[in-house]
């Protein structure tokens, strides 16, 4: 199933602006509605209070004449009391049965739901929508109605909305614009990072530009760029290791394969079976050399790959050494090399990885077996385990020509051979580098020195000692 095209997805900056703007708009809308509702309520209260005062003033001028209640005010006084510059004001003094004592006829408020002294209501009169106050008098039992049009209060409310909402809208628009600019600025390094990654060739694993990390304003963008940079570094190291491995294999196998081909061609050109057998044996020797070279290369690659996840455990170094010596006996007898061992009678517990420890012993013993004897003389290999300064020291000493002090450190690197190995045409310069790498992975120290009596080569590996109790892992 193919992924959804990125063009159909909303951009991150748009989502950020939306996630901030929409709640802000909603909050502002609710707050403005509440503020306007409260303002409208108190504005209406102010206008209603003015009408109520006029109703109370009219009620104070009610008087009884000839057994009837009358409003004892002149027309000019009434106009003065009810004067409003912009509104039409109506009034009526009515008995409880609806008879008009004074004022405008037809000004009838809806019936009251309770017996409250004052109440406010909306009504229509002469085609106008009016706001009215009704004042109930218990003695005498009369009601005074004062009503006025709502043009002024509606205009005031519109002005209040205009002068309060408009600046807030402008401020809100300014905030949205500022927010978009800030989001765009903070996400600019992310956009540059996307462009750099998309424009890169598959073979380009160089680090990201330093200015990209420096321009990242947020910790998240900086962390993402740093993580990608670190990933590119790790991938580059892996690719470099693969290229080195492939190049080294191609380079080192070229010679033995060419030799095998030459021996095969020479053998095919011969007629005597003895010659064929001789060439086949030579081919077998070259094949074994090439096979051993590939095994060493794979072992080195495996050691480098597993370094980050290697788990050390308690291992009996003495038991491992005894096993490797027993496996080496046939080859040593064939080569005329004498094997000696000391310190293997008691368990020697170290912190190591069994597979790497076996490989380390194999390479040390193989190197000593190949180069550990003088020409024309019997060879000797001595394996010893000793305790020194709270650590267990494994040493393999041969009786070979030895190596100068200036060459010993270089032999720990790949593809480096001593003069004896070069002269004999054996090995590929990987054995001791594998030992060096295995020792690093097992947190041990590898060193090369001259033999105890100044002759030969002594290879030593110092391990961290583990507890004595237990059995071999």
Give the pLDDT score at 239: 76
Q: Structurally, how many domains does the chain consist of?
A: 3
Write down which residue in 129, 158, 187 finishes a domain.
158
- 344 and 224 share one domain: no
Write down which residue in 268, 300, 332 finishes a domain.
300
Distance of CA 346 to the CA centre of its chain: 51
Residue located via tokens 């305790």: 387
- 348 and 432 share one domain: yes
- 363 and 250 share one domain: no
Q: What is the CATH number of the domain that holds 111?
A: 3.30.450
Give the pLDDT score at 12: 74
- 115 and 58 share one domain: yes
Q: What is the CATH number of the domain that holds 406?
A: 3.30.565.10
Tell me, yes or no, whether 405 lies in a domain: yes
- 150 and 284 share one domain: no
Tell me, yes or no, whether 402 lies in a domain: yes
pLDDT tens for the chain, 473 residues long, are 455 555 567 677 778 888 888 888 888 888 888 888 888 888 888 888 988 999 899 888 888 888 788 888 888 888 888 888 888 999 999 887 778 888 888 888 888 777 788 899 989 888 888 999 998 887 778 888 999 998 888 888 888 888 888 888 888 888 888 888 888 887 777 777 777 777 777 777 777 777 766 666 667 777 777 787 788 777 877 777 777 666 556 645 665 676 677 778 878 888 888 887 887 887 787 777 677 667 756 665 666 665 545 678 899 999 999 988 988 887 788 788 889 999 999 999 999 888 788 888 988 888 888 877 776 677 889 999 998 888 899 999 988 877 766 665 655 444 444 444 444 344 434 667 778 888 888 889 998 888 877 778 889 999 988 876 544 43
- 46 and 153 share one domain: yes
CA distances (Å), origin 423, targets 289, 294, 417, 418: 16, 21, 10, 9
Give the pLDDT score at 442: 87
Write down which residue in 300, 318, 341 finishes a domain.
300
> In this structure, are residues 286 and 263 in contact, taking their beta carbons and an 8 Å threshold?
yes
Give the pLDDT score at 38: 87
Q: Which domain holds residue 251?
A: 219-300
Q: In what order do the strands lie in the sheet with 100-103?
A: 100-103, 89-95, 142-149, 128-137, 118-125
d(CA 241, CA 239): 5
- 338 and 246 share one domain: no
- 240 and 340 share one domain: no
| Among 390, 318, 392, CA closest to 361 | 318
Tell me, yes or no, whether 245 lies in a domain: yes
- 45 and 82 share one domain: yes
Angle, in degrees to the nearest 10, between helices 354-371 and 273-305: 140
What is the residue-wise DSSP string for 297-361? HHHHHHHHHSGGG---EEEEHHHHHHHHHHHHHHHHHHHTEEEEEES-SS--EEEE-HHHHHHHH
- 239 and 114 share one domain: no
Q: How big is the chain, counted in residues?
A: 473
- 126 and 102 share one domain: yes
- 252 and 108 share one domain: no
> In this structure, are residues 388 and 395 in contact, taking their beta carbons and an 8 Å threshold?
no
Tell me, yes or no, whether 211 lies in a domain: no
């Amino acid at each position: 199933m193919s992924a959804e095209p990125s063009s159909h997805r909303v951009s991150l900056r748009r989502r950020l602006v939306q996630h901030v703007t929409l709640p802000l708009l909603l909050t502002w809308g609710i707050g403005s509605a509440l503020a306007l509702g409260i303002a409208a309520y108190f504005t209406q209260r102010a206008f209603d209070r003015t009408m109520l005062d006029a109703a109370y003033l009219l009620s104070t001028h009610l008087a009884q004449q000839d057994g009837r209640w009358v409003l004892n005010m002149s027309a000019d006084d009434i106009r003065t009391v009810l004067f409003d510059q912009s509104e039409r004001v109506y009034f009526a003094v009515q008995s409880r049965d609806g008879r008009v004592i004074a004022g405008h006829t037809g000004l009838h408020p809806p019936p009251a739901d309770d017996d409250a002294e004052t109440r406010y209501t909306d009504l229509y009169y002469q085609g106008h929508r009016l706001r009215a106050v009704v004042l109930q008098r218990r003695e005498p039992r009369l009601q005074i109605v004062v009503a006025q049009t709502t043009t002024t209060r509606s205009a005031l409310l519109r002005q209040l909305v205009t002068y309060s909402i408009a600046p807030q809208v402008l401020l809100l628009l300014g905030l949205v614009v500022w927010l978009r600019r800030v989001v765009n600025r903070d996400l600019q390094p992310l956009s540059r990072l996307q462009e750099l990654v998309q424009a890169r060739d598959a073979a380009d694993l160089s680090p990201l530009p330093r200015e990209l990390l420096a321009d990242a304003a947020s910790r998240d963008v900086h962390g993402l760029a740093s993580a990608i940079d670190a990933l590119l570094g790790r991938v580059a190291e892996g690719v470099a290791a693969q290229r080195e491995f492939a190049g080294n294999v191609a380079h080192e196998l070229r010679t033995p394969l060419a030799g095998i081909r030459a021996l095969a061609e020479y053998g095919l050109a011969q007629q005597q079976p003895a010659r064929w057998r001789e060439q086949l044996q030579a081919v077998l020797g070259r094949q074994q050399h090439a096979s051993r070279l590939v095994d060493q290369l794979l072992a080195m690659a495996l050691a480098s790959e597993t370094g980050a996840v290697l788990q050390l455990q308690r291992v009996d170094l003495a038991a491992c050494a005894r096993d490797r010596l027993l496996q080496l006996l046939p080859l040593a007898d064939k080569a005329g090399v004498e094997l000696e061992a000391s310190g293997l009678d008691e368990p020697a517990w170290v912190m190591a990885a069994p597979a790497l420890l076996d490989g380390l012993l194999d390479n040390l013993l193989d190197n000593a077996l190949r180069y550990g004897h003088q020409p024309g003389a019997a060879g000797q290999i001595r394996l010893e385990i000793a305790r020194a300064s709270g650590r267990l020291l494994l040493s393999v000493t041969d009786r070979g020509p030895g190596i100068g002090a200036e060459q010993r450190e270089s032999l720990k690197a790949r593809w480096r051979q001593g003069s004896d190995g070069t002269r004999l045409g054996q090995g590929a310069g990987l054995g001791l580098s594998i030992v060096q790498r295995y020792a690093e992975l097992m947190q041990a120290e590898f060193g090369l020195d001259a033999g105890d009596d100044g002759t030969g080569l002594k290879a030593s590996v110092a391990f961290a000692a583990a507890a004595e109790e237990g059995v071999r892992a």
